[in-house]
Amino acid sequence: MRAIGSSLSRVGAVEKVTGRARYPGDLNKPGQLYMKILFAGRPHARIVDIDLTAAKQVPGVVAILTAEDVPVNEYGLIIYDQPVLCGDVVRCVADQVACVIAETEEAAIEARDKIRVVYEDLPILTDPIAAMHPDAFVIHPERGESNLLCHYKIRNGDVEAAFAEADVIVEGVYHTPFQEHAYLQPEAGLAWLDGDQVVVNVAGQWMHEDRQQIAHALGWPEERVRVEYSAIGGAFGGREDMSVQIVLALAAIETGRPVKIVWTREESIIGHHKRHPMTIRTRWAATYSGRLLGVEAEVIADAGAYAYTSTKVLGNAHLCVTGPYEWPAAKVDSYAVYTNNIPTGAFRGFGAPQGHFAAEMQMNKLAARLGLDPVVLRLKNCLREGSQLTTRAHMPPGVSLPHVIEAAAEGAGWKRPDGSFQKPTLPPSDAPHIKRGIGFACAMKNVGFSFGFVDECWAQVELHGGGEIEEVVVRCAGADVGQGAHTVFCQMAAEAVGVPVERVRLVAAHTDETPGSSGSSSASRMTFYAGNAIRGAAMRALKLWHDEIRPAVGTYRYRPRATTPFHPETGEADPNVSYGFVAEVAEVEVDTELGFVHITRVMCADDVGKAINPRLIEGQIEGGVVQAAGYTVLEHFQVRNGEVLTRHLSTYLIPTVYDIPDRVESIILEYPDPQGPWGARGMAEMPFIPLAPAVASAVYDATGIWFDELPLTPDKVVATLHASQSTDQHE
């Protein structure tokens, strides 16, 4: 059996299902203390006074940290715009103001509640469009004279001429909502001192970046910080930024004792960022024959109070808002805006779902307008080998999108025996109030980091044995956040070395064991990057092995060709190294009286290049579809005046096993990426991206109404259907 291409059982699966796996919240050390964080709980205020007197008198309190205890009081993955602990101003409810460290969690809670903070409330901005107004007050005056975090442009071709020449123009305004990651494991961690090092054991996505952020805030060299990852209970982008890492390190240093923290679900929902809500206005110009002529788009993203990864998420939305299509002319303006809302950042898809929601709705509206089949229209205009992006860069080789679109259509019965395409007809429901519909959408997304970021992955392979290779030790820090990265690392190492996978041992527990960074478990990049690094290291080790060196140790730092950021005026850029491609067909039943949209079937065709572990890929497809189904029809993160109203899983509803689509069918395609290890591409975000527009288009097919705002909650569906009926009566 080959090591790759086999559905081997996941590393750690038995430990997880038997409860033996240790997550950060399961860790304990003798003499440990407990920490609780005081969140601001108000969207914008000046801190007039922090009185710790009563809190310090609570028995068992060991230390209370405030802003003045943070040596370098700033952090942020892209911009250091966030204080670790706020000392003068709080800018959102999630701001951390103080940390109480006590002998017991109860004492820490009691003392936290006795901290008296005197605030002077300040005006708030929670609407990004209002925050862009020239007269709006500035949330980060130290960062410039407006609330604009960033503005990207694309100016390519003659858009005015395109619209002048157009036979049809399709316009739309689209709204996408916040989304909460809702991973099973709320944030937790344990920190302690080990010699001259502080050790922080948490669940994150990129341990070397965690180390850098902690060291920066401590003002320590990185070598004195060790970051360890235990089992990680889901991430989806929500663990990309700091949560408990820095304050844990501070607390362990302050007290000299191990310090533990476990967030409640409410703290987790408040304490980490969300998916960006975006408002997208767009116009498309096309000919009667369905040729795209030109596009205009404006994207406004609510960044919340701090940058997190907003500049990069916006970049992705900027690129995706015109869809995976060739455009002779494009004019796009995208803005990320500071507000006093909870910060927004990375979440599976990373700007691509928002951009594609607008683009794919536009595509389906255009098809309806022209009376053309949406699959045919896509095949006519989609990116293919050698296509140019709106940023004028050529697509990297291996553009499989036309095959992916065809495969999804064929799987859904959309392709007829004569090779033509026609939307399948669903049998009508027996119940008159149930309407059935079917919708199509496709998407592309970058694999790996973008826009000039130097992305890389380090790995080391040691070959042990005498005459034959008895053990392969692989060092690669890439986080297994539940997607199965460690399993495919082992499979790829075994394949590269040519031994059974049982002989591979992975070392990935902490930063000292894996001196090189593997980069983040995000951007669907881990298989692609770690695979290339592990293969490179294995080749070097094998060469030494053949030279009779024992153990034979090869290290390799995979670094693909450089990308470039958007040109500030034209948007010209070579944004990405590699892309994944996906297409989905969704079937729905709409209860037109109750307003419920039930997804009965999803067909997902995802080009993975090479399926290293097909079962794990199916898991990613089904998980991505379910998460996107929640985003589309159920999850409703509600914020009013900067306050989060949905602070529990009883109010923020995610799908249970009873609420997911009836059927999810995976079509795993293997069109190799020439740069990928064994041809593999990133795939884990792709299934999320086209689902919302596929479902909304199926709802249109069922009801004749376009829903341009997510989520499609039943009250909204009923109100819109009723409004359209009364309009019909007037006409």
Partner 1 sequence: MKPPPFEYVAAHSVEEALDVLVTHGWDAKVLAGGQSLIPTLNFRLAAPAILVDLNPVSELAFIEANGMLRIGAMTRQRTLERDETIARLAPLITAAMPHVAHPQIRTRGTIGGSLAHCDPAAELPAVCLALDATLVARSQRGERAIPARDFFFGLFSTALEPDELLTEIRIPPMPPNTRYAFREVARRHGDFALAGVALTLQLDEAGRIRAPRVALFGVHDAALLSESAMRLLDGAAPSEALVREAAEAVAHDIEPSSDIHASAAYRTHLAKVLTARALRDALGDALGHATE
Contact residues for partner 1, defined by CB under 8 A: 264, 593-596, 634, 638, 645-646, 651, 653, 655-656, 658-659, 714-715, 718-719
Minimum CB distance to partner 1, residue 258 (Å): 23
Our CB check for partner 1 shows the closer of 53 and 656 to be: 656
Please give the structure tokens belonging to residue 68: 């003045």
Minimum CB distance to partner 1, residue 106 (Å): 9
Q: What is the DSSP code string of 584-597?
A: EEEEEEEETTT--E
Our CB check for partner 1 shows the closer of 600 and 646 to be: 646
Our CB check for partner 1 shows the closer of 41 and 614 to be: 41
Please give the structure tokens belonging to residue 13: 């699966």
Ordered alpha helix ranges (H), 422-515 = 485-497
**Kind and range of the H or E run holding 280:** strand 278-286
CA distances from 170 to 137, 287, 362, 691 (A): 36, 11, 7, 21
Minimum CB distance to partner 1, residue 148 (Å): 32
Our CB check for partner 1 shows the closer of 430 and 658 to be: 658
Minimum CB distance to partner 1, residue 593 (Å): 5
Minimum CB distance to partner 1, residue 656 (Å): 6
Query: Is the alpha carbon torsion for 14, 17, 20, 22 positive or negative?
Result: positive
Our CB check for partner 1 shows the closer of 668 and 718 to be: 718
Please give the structure tokens belonging to residue 670: 């293997």
CB-based contacts of 608, cutoff 8 Å, min separation 6: 580, 617, 668, 669, 670, 680, 681, 683
Please give the structure tokens belonging to residue 166: 């157009």
Our CB check for partner 1 shows the closer of 266 and 333 to be: 266
Whose tokens are 């290339």? That residue is: 532
Task: Give helix then strand counts, H and E, for the chain.
Answer: 17, 25
Minimum CB distance to partner 1, residue 634 (Å): 7
Please give the structure tokens belonging to residue 613: 């572990």
Please say whether the beta carbons of 305 and 343 come within 8 A. Answer: yes
**Greatest Cα-to-Cα distance within the chain, rounded to the nearest angstrom:** 87
Minimum CB distance to partner 1, residue 389 (Å): 40
Please say whether the beta carbons of 314 and 336 come within 8 A. Answer: yes
Tell me whether residue 122 is exposed, middle or buried, using C-beta atoms within 10 angstroms of its C-beta: 0 to 12, 13 to 18, 19 or more. Answer: middle
User: Sheet containing 61-65: which strands, arranged edge to edge?
Assistant: 61-65, 96-102, 33-39, 259-262, 188-194, 197-202, 225-229
Our CB check for partner 1 shows the closer of 59 and 144 to be: 59
Query: Is the alpha carbon torsion for 719, 720, 721, 725 positive or negative?
Result: positive
User: Sheet containing 552-558: which strands, arranged edge to edge?
Assistant: 504-507, 469-475, 457-465, 552-558
Our CB check for partner 1 shows the closer of 484 and 623 to be: 623
Minimum CB distance to partner 1, residue 129 (Å): 25
Residues counted in the chain = 731
Minimum CB distance to partner 1, residue 646 (Å): 6
CA angle 441, 629, 269 (to 5 degrees): 130
Minimum CB distance to partner 1, residue 711 (Å): 11
Our CB check for partner 1 shows the closer of 18 and 658 to be: 658
Our CB check for partner 1 shows the closer of 235 and 634 to be: 634
Please say whether the beta carbons of 436 and 428 come within 8 A. Answer: yes
Minimum CB distance to partner 1, residue 90 (Å): 25
Our CB check for partner 1 shows the closer of 54 and 431 to be: 431
Our CB check for partner 1 shows the closer of 369 and 716 to be: 716
